[in-house]
Structure 1
Amino acid sequence: MANIHSQKKRILRNERERLENRRYTSAIKTRFRRLEAAVGEGATDAATTEHRELVSTIDKAVKRGALHRNTGARKKARAARVIAGPKA
């Protein structure tokens, strides 16, 4: 543990920020699994709702800095591919 007061505060702040980033990434993974399940069941209304919520969560995570913008774009593209289904 650090001896300097400002460094102790920084360590605590880093931990809080790390946990918030984990919350975002975990929520994104959960929503992606829900999206895949909805598409697998053939529930189009549920799938579009899940897709909308997933994209919103990804955008919030990118805005907050939990995800890099390219990572967010890649995850949104993968979600769009799941929604589109297999190529004919």
Structure 2
Amino acid sequence: MANIKSAIKRVDVNNKKRAQNQSVKSEMRTQIKQVESFIEANDVENAKSALKLTIKKIDKAVQKGLIHKNNGDRQKARLSRKVNNLA
């Protein structure tokens, strides 16, 4: 454990930021799974509406630096392709 006052503060800040980042990442993953479940159920309308929200969540994670830009682009492309093939 840190002894210096500023180091103790940094540990607190890092833990708070880590918790916030984990929640954003978790929300993104949950949204991706939801779109995939709509795709498996052949529910075109719900899949399309969920895809819009999912793309927002992925873009937000990329913007915050939680995932790499190429990773976000790849996930969006895969989901979009699946939804478009469904329609």
TM-score (norm 1): 0.86
Q: Does residue 72 in structure 1 map to residue 72 in structure 2?
A: yes
Letter in 1 for 2:30: T
Q: Give the Cα separation in 2 of the matches to 1:81 and 1:39.
A: 11
Q: Does residue 25 in structure 1 map to residue 19 in structure 2?
A: no
Q: CA deviation at 1:84?
A: 3.0
Q: Percent identity?
A: 33
Q: Does residue 11 in structure 1 map to residue 8 in structure 2?
A: no
Structure 1 segments of 4+ aligned residues over 6 angstroms from their partners: none
Gaps of 5+ in 2: none
Gaps of 5+ in 1: none
Per the alignment, residue 47 of structure 1 pairs with 47
Letter in 2 for 1:28: M
Letter in 2 for 1:18: R
Residues 5-28 of structure 1, C-alpha deviation per residue, up to 9 Å, x if partnerless?
111111111111111111121111
Q: Give the Cα separation in 1 of the matches to 2:82 and 2:24.
A: 21
Higher mean alpha-carbon deviation, 77-86 vs 29-38, is at 77-86
* Matched residues, number: 86
Q: CA RMSD of the aligned region, Å?
A: 1.5
